[in-house]
Each structure stands twice: as structure tokens, then as C-alpha cells.
Structure 1
Amino acid sequence: MQQAASEDAGERRVDRLKVRSFATREEMAQRAADDIAAGLRAALAKKQQVRMVFAAAPSQADTLAAVLARDNIDWARVTAFHMDEYIGLPERAPQRFALWLDAHVFSRAPFREVVALRPDPDPIAAASAYAARLAEAEIDLVILGVGVNGHLAFNDPPVANFEDPQDVKIVELDAVCRQQQVDDGGFATVDAVPSSAITLTIPRLLRADALYCVVPGAAKRAAIKAMLHGPLAPACPASILRTQPHCTLYLDRESDPDASRTQD
């Protein structure tokens, strides 16, 4: 693992991953939104239709709102996907990621199409159908986060596979992931959190042209430390992003394990 700082003390590379670190969550969200909007405009300048994958989580809300506030983005040429969904929740359960994204993103811009991931009543068929839709054309941009256990989407350490042959699969959620859903305010108890979900796999996410990984908050600091400085291994699924030159990681002071060096 190699780490190099640029002239901007808040920007460095860890192996091939670009890391941008900011003093506050607000600054992080605004600067990430600038980069995402620029990436969107560049993609739209090159092709008639652009395809994006969105993460659904409170950690993403500030950045997503800032992206939607940017000018000169032709959302009518953008097809939207999301990267994971619980299995077994009622259709209108407020915890469903499709509903979270609809409230925070999809209802706020005139997207060309929103391709919702609906696992029930047949999760196996749903995974196959969603993989087929994703495969119709390249994915241009992914906006994602990192879980407190280092997961990407719902690829928790017990099921994460850097060489997964599937694009979309059914997974069992580990205890740390389920507790995070409670801590994020989605569920009252761990027992209320579904035990299984459908997720895009790690190779499917990494095949996108550009990835923007937004991770604020002290709760993620240990995961980011393992991601940036620990072994490159499925025990911390997000560590694979160190091999991805087309990914940028955005941190605030609370989430950055190197904040005292990079921002003081």
C-alpha cells in the first residue's frame, strides 16, 4: 500500500484510489457534488443516454441533494438504478431503498427512467431480471458509500467476493450491517431488520466508468481505516477500491482516519 499527498493537503492517493478529505460534512458534500455533476455533464456530452447507480442511505442525502441542485444537467437523458434492496418488506414499507431514493432523488428530477429493484415475491427472478437490465448498456456513474463493516452495497464481509461471477445476487446480512440499519434510524430493533437482501455485486459496481464514494461521519472512521490501511481482502470489502483509479473517495474530518495529518 502506497500513499502520496498532493499539494492540496486534503487530497492524496492510496494505491490507485483518489482520496479527497474536507474539514466538514457540508464541504465534503458540496465538493463531491461538483465532481459528480461534472462527470454527468461530461458523459452527457459524449452520449445520448447516461446510466447511473445510486446508493440509498442517510450518509448520501447531503451529496445527492447538492447534485440535484446543480445546473445544466439533462436528467431526461439519465436512467437511474439502485444498488440493493431488502427482501421481505411490505411493498410500501418506508425502509425500502426504492422509496427512500424516490423521496430524495427520483421524484426531484425528470429522469428518463427509474429502474426499481423489487425483490418480492420471487427474489431469484428479480435478481436475474435486474442483472439483465444493467447489462443492456454500460453503467456510466455510481454513487456509493461504505458500511460500518466495510461493505459495498450489501456485500458484507461474509459474502463479499472480489471475483463474483454474478452481477446481482441474494445475500444474508451480517449482524454488524443489521445493527447499522437500526443506528441509521431505519428500524427500531435488529430483529425488525430483514435478514436477506438483493445486491449488486462488487465486480458489477467496479465495471462502471466512474465511482464516487461518499463517506462522512465518525461511525465510519474505523471502516475507512481498514479500507485504506488494512489488507486488501473481503474482510473489508471496500478495500478493493484501492485498486480502482476511476474511483474517488470523499471524507470529512470525522470519517478520515488521517485527518490530523491531512487537515491540520
Structure 2
Amino acid sequence: MVPIAQQKIDLLEVSVYATRKEMGQAAADLGAARIRELLKERESVNIILGSAPSQLELYAALLTSGLDFGRIHAFHMDEYLGLAPDAPQGFGNYLKEHLFQHAGFRSVHYINGQADNPAAECARYAALLEAYPPDVIFEGIGENGHLAFNDPGVADFHDPARVKISNMDEVCRAQQVHDGCFASLEEVPRQAVTLTIPQLTPPEATLVITVPGPTKAQAVYHTLCGPITEACPASILRRHPHATLVLDRDAAANTGLVKV
């Protein structure tokens, strides 16, 4: 895939593609290339994946990438609290539907959003992440600039936890309606389990951030053009030594990187 624009902003590599499909393919190619490099040196690789419609093109491209999924341990980065176990909006269920059930991963580790003790579930998942430190992280950016459910007001660039319970802000909850996951704001849960900012941005991992669509244009602008601040959690990506932000034309519309 040939980008229509490329630029490095602080440490963050930014590539813009003409279409969502090209964006997803480029992101998958980038992540798959890193996974293959690592598999030359070791038996298995650990990855974390975001769960959202914005990632669908990425999932599809990963499934046709020829990766040896049998050598990959997979995690996801957030989960609603309190949904029914089979709710299609559950992020683990979403990833299973669109990716996990189509590829024979060595292991898939789900966050349990129905746990009787959410704090204990955070501790359990944190221990797994410590045992399987991420090598490649595929993530997106929310309409409010969040990473996973680290919303403005909740995000902490120096969070001591790996996994925590997050209170979702109104913009974040509204995004779930915009994405078509819920019919109304009242249906969207108010709390979730989320990996924290440090767990999503470890300096030794490769980050592939895939962000399409006009509804993300303002968040992308603040990520790239504003101050690095917890008011826009994704702005921390500009300090990461191995991160690439992959956009389509619509998501890049406010940045000056492409003509619209």
C-alpha cells in the first residue's frame, strides 16, 4: 500500500491512505511484518487488540496475512462491566466473531466482564499480561481521544496499575451509539475494565494505531497537533519510539496532511 501522505510528528510515524481498506491492509502489513521478525527469534509472540468497528479492515487483512496464528497469544484491551455473557456488544465477543474464531491462535485471553469481583478480575488479567508482555499492540483512538477506556479525566500517563476499572465519560458512551453497537445512550454501560495507558504504550512494544472516518478527525487533530496531555490521552503516542498511526483520508482531514 502506498500512502498519500506521511510525516513524523515527534516520535510518532503517521501514514495516511486514500481508503479504509488500504488503511487496514497497511496496518496489518506493518504489524504482521513485526510479528514475523519476532517469530524468527522465538517460539511465540504476544499481541493485544482493540475491539471496535474501526478495526474491521485490520482484522480482515490480518486473516489473509499468512501469519502463523498458532504461535500467537492474544489479549484484548477493554471490556464492559455488566453485559450478558453472550451480548454482541461485548468486546471479547466482538473479537471472537470477527477474528478469533477464524484463526487458530495459540491462546486467547478474555477479560470477564461478568466477574463477581471486578477488582479481582483486574488483578487476574494484569498477572496474565505480566506473564505474556505484549510485543505488538493493535489499537485505535476514540472520539474523545481515549486509548481503550482511558478517557479524559480517567487517563493517567503514569498509572501504577496494568488493568483498572474505568468510569466511561459521556463522549465515550455516545461513541458506542455512533458505532452502531447500542441503540441508545441509556443502553451503554457506565463502567468497564481497561488496560491502562502504560500497559498500552510499553516502550519495548510495537504499536499500530488504526483510525478511520470523519468522526475521528477532531481526535486525530488533538492527538497530532495539540499538547501532549491527559486531556487527549492519545497524544502520549507522540512519545513512543515504535508507534505508527495509520489513518484514512477522512480521519486526517483536520491535520493539514492531506487536501480535502
TM range (shorter): over 0.9
Instruction: Give distance in 1, aligned partners of 2:29 and 2:90.
Output: 28
Runs of 4+ in 1 over 6 A off after TM superposition: none
Instruction: Give distance in 2, aligned partners of 1:263 and 1:166.
Output: 41
Q: TM-score, normalised by structure 2?
A: 0.95
Deviation at 1:245, TM superposition (A): 2.0
Question: Could you tell me which of 218, 221, 228 is aligned with 2:224?
Answer: 228
Contact 1:9 1:263 (8 Å CA) reproduced = no
Counterparts of 1:1-264 in structure 2 under 5 Å?
10-71=5-66, 73-119=67-113, 120-207=115-202, 209-257=205-253, 261-262=257-258
Instruction: Spell out, residue by residue over 1:124-176, the C-alpha distance to the aligned partner (whole angstroms, 9 max, x if none).
Output: 11000000000013210100000000000000001000000000000100000
137-146 or 124-133, larger mean C-alpha shift? 137-146
Instruction: Spell out, residue by residue over 1:88-111, the C-alpha distance to the aligned partner (whole angstroms, 9 max, x if none).
Output: 111111111010000111101110
Instruction: Give distance in 1, aligned partners of 2:71 and 2:122.
Output: 25
Instruction: Give distance in 2, aligned partners of 1:252 and 1:209.
Output: 24
Q: Point out where structure 1 has 5 or more consecutive residues left out of the alignment.
A: 1-7
Q: Point out where structure 2 has 5 or more consecutive residues left out of the alignment.
A: none
Contact 2:111 2:121 (8 Å CA) reproduced = yes
Instruction: Give distance in 2, aligned partners of 1:101 and 1:13.
Output: 31
Counting aligned pairs with the same residue, the percent is 45
In structure 2, relative to structure 1, the CA distance for the partners of 1:86 and 1:202 (3 Å cut) is same
Structure 2: which amino acid aligns with 1:130? Y
Instruction: Give distance in 2, aligned partners of 1:88 and 1:182.
Output: 17
Deviation at 1:65, TM superposition (A): 0.8
Instruction: Give distance in 2, aligned partners of 1:121 and 1:90.
Output: 13
Question: Helix, strand or coil: the match of 1:47?
Answer: coil
Structure 2: which amino acid aligns with 1:131? A
Structure 2: which amino acid aligns with 1:36? G
CA-atom RMSD in angstroms:
1.4
In structure 2, relative to structure 1, the CA distance for the partners of 1:259 and 1:156 (3 Å cut) is closer
Instruction: Give distance in 2, aligned partners of 1:224 and 1:43.
Output: 30
